[in-house]
Structure 1
Amino acid sequence: MYIKHANTSKQVTKNYYYCTITVTIKFDQFCNTMVSLNKHVAVIFISALTIGQSAMYRFLPDDYDLFTNCEDRPELGGDSDLMDLSAFSITFTDDVIQLNGTGLVLWDIEPTDRVTVDTEMRKFSRGTWQSSYLSVKVNDLCKEMKNTNSKMYDYWTKHIISEFSCIGKGVKLQHEPFEIDGDFTMVGMNMEGRYAIVSILHAYDRNNQLKPNGICLQIPGDIIKV
């Protein structure tokens, strides 16, 4: 219903005000529609890109002894300071690593010490080893070894058949025969190239004081697409 006013100036102002509100509402609706559409397009694009770049890879270690010392950390001990593996066998096949036997801990720490482990995947690029975003930190190795929900337990410590409280000098870790699969899936990036898995171990006493005899181990190898 339109009500005519005798005052012409008021009538013009009222009509103009009505038109302005109408245009603003339509513009907001248009903006919201475009934002929603852009979000859906972005999700579809990212999903398609991610699916297209997923691939299966395999890590092939260099050495039949598996572990080597860290040349860039001479102040830290190496594999021979950590464990005697003379009664432990490591066999490589095309797609798995077969392990069996007993390891004797040589590292001069107590089973009551808290051990931290910092592990990082480094890539060899342009003549040097460079850090990558692939890393993991364990704040208490003993707890992680006994945590049935942990990856460490699933891959390693569930296969230890001897009784042990934690690692410490003189502790024997007897293993049943088991295998580690070197295959993995990576999404969003190409992993092919030369890599090293580097792990640094530190021990802390009952008073949470850092012990000076840290350990550094690395597993160099190549990652190929399978």
Structure 2
Amino acid sequence: MWTPPKFVYQVLILILFGRQSSATKYKFLLENEDIFTDCPNKPSNVHNINGVFDTSEGTFETDFVTVLFTGNLTCVWNIQPGDRIQMTFEIKRFDRGSWQPTVFNINVRDFCSSLYEEEQYWYKYWSKYIINKEQVREKCILPGTKFIHEPFNVDLLFEARGLTLIGRHKLVYTFKAFDTNGVERETSICLEILGEFQRE
């Protein structure tokens, strides 16, 4: 059996290291003090952030660079036990007067099963700070579920390899619920965060 020379392994390591080190870091600077914006041109059955969470026990504060959250969130979306929650996330770029899709998108078929997985980006930015996660883990985002948080800062940092994230963009989150027969529930959630990317 042929064994590659040692230098082949060295070259492979250099290539892999080069790919890792070539990632450019970007900071997402918020455009709106309210942070969350309604998705435009949506029918009445598509709700905003208030359609999924009662935020009256929580406070979002921002200096447009970071977001400090303190308090609790209570789920209010009228879904049922056993529903599968599908989440999509995408970044859109504002170009020549309209929003254009980019290659940055995530489609999660079963959001609830991965809500507390440490390798997921939403764990890093949000669910790791839920201090009652053991009590609410099985409830996911069923109505009445209260997430109790330790205060935390959200630093909106992104990494991109071989691509440029500069200028005005928006982060778009959508959530859809499907019953045990795979039929989509009548209401869904859509929210946006508008801002501008700057290289770190």
What TM-score do the two structures reach when normalised by structure 2? 0.80
Pick closer, same or farther for the CA change 1:213–1:51 going to 2, 3 Å: closer
How big is the shift at 1:186? 2.4
2:112 matches 1:142: yes
Q: Larger radius of gyration, structure 1 or 2?
A: 1
2:29 matches 1:55: no
How big is the shift at 1:56? 2.8
2:190 matches 1:205: no
Counterpart position of 1:225 = 199
Q: How many residues align structurally?
A: 182
Pick closer, same or farther for the CA change 1:95–1:66 going to 2, 3 Å: closer
Letter in 1 for 2:25: M
Counterpart position of 2:152 = 178
Question: How do 1:43-192 and structure 2 match up within 5 A?
Answer: 54-75=23-44, 76-93=46-63, 95-162=65-132, 163-164=135-136, 165-192=139-166
8 Å contact from structure 1 (residues 196, 221) kept in 2: yes
Counterpart position of 2:4 = none
8 Å contact from structure 1 (residues 110, 167) kept in 2: no
Query: Structure 1 regions of 5+ residues with no counterpart?
Result: 1-39
Higher strand share goes to which structure? 2
For the residues of structure 1 that align with 2:32 and 2:90, how far apart are their CA atoms? 19
What TM-score do the two structures reach when normalised by structure 1? 0.72
How big is the shift at 1:74? 2.9
Counterpart position of 2:5 = none
Higher helix share goes to which structure? 1
Pick closer, same or farther for the CA change 1:187–1:150 going to 2, 3 Å: closer
SS at match of 1:64: coil
How big is the shift at 1:82? 1.5
Q: Provide runs of 4+ in structure 1 moved above 6 Å.
A: 50-53
